[in-house]
């Protein structure tokens, strides 16, 4: 919270938001609602421009099945990262996410260009 004065600068012209949290900490589950509200809803960005990453520390139980997030977080793309077990899966999900952001940027640029022309 002490960095809140920097948030507008961080948000300016951003095209995507990745929120990484520790699903084993109940406080994190509350905090990600605040991050989502500030960085996604108030911008506004589309939900598809936001990626949630539940990062499981080495040796944690890593219960990926029972992590149920409340609305509106349950509408977001959620990936579980456990770099001990599946670094390749996480890499592929990041690549998919970045591709989707590039598509959104290109589409909005084309719309802008068309509006200038017409």
Q: pLDDT tens across 23-51, in order?
A: 988 888 889 999 999 899 988 899 999 99
Tell me what pLDDT residue 62 has: 53
**CA distances for 88 relative to 49, 60, 73, 94, angstroms:** 22, 19, 25, 10
CA distance 98 to 74: 20
Q: What is the pLDDT of residue 1?
A: 54
Identify how many contiguous H helices and E strands the chain contains and give both numbers: 3, 3
Whole-structure pTM value: 0.82
Q: What does the pLDDT read at residue 2?
A: 63
Q: What are the structure tokens assigned to 75, written together?
A: 């509408």
**3-class state of residue 86 by DSSP:** coil
Backbone angles phi, psi at 117, to 5 degrees: -65, -40
- Domain segments of the chain: what residues? 13-117
pLDDT value, residue 57: 81
The tens digit of pLDDT for each residue in 47-89 reads 999 999 999 887 766 555 667 888 899 999 999 988 777 788 8
């Amino acid at each position: 919270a002490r960095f809140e004065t920097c948030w507008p600068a961080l948000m300016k012209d951003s095209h995507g938001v990745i929120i990484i949290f520790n699903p084993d900490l109940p406080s994190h589950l509350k905090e990600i609602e605040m991050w989502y509200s500030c960085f996604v809803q108030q911008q506004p960005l589309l939900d598809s421009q936001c990626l949630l990453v539940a990062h499981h520390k080495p040796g944690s139980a890593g219960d990926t099945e029972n992590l149920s997030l409340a609305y509106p977080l349950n509408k977001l793309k959620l990936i579980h990262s456990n770099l001990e077990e599946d670094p390749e899966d996480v890499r592929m999900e990041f690549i998919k996410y970045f591709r989707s952001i590039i598509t959104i940027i290109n589409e909005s640029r084309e719309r802008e260009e068309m509006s200038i022309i017409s």
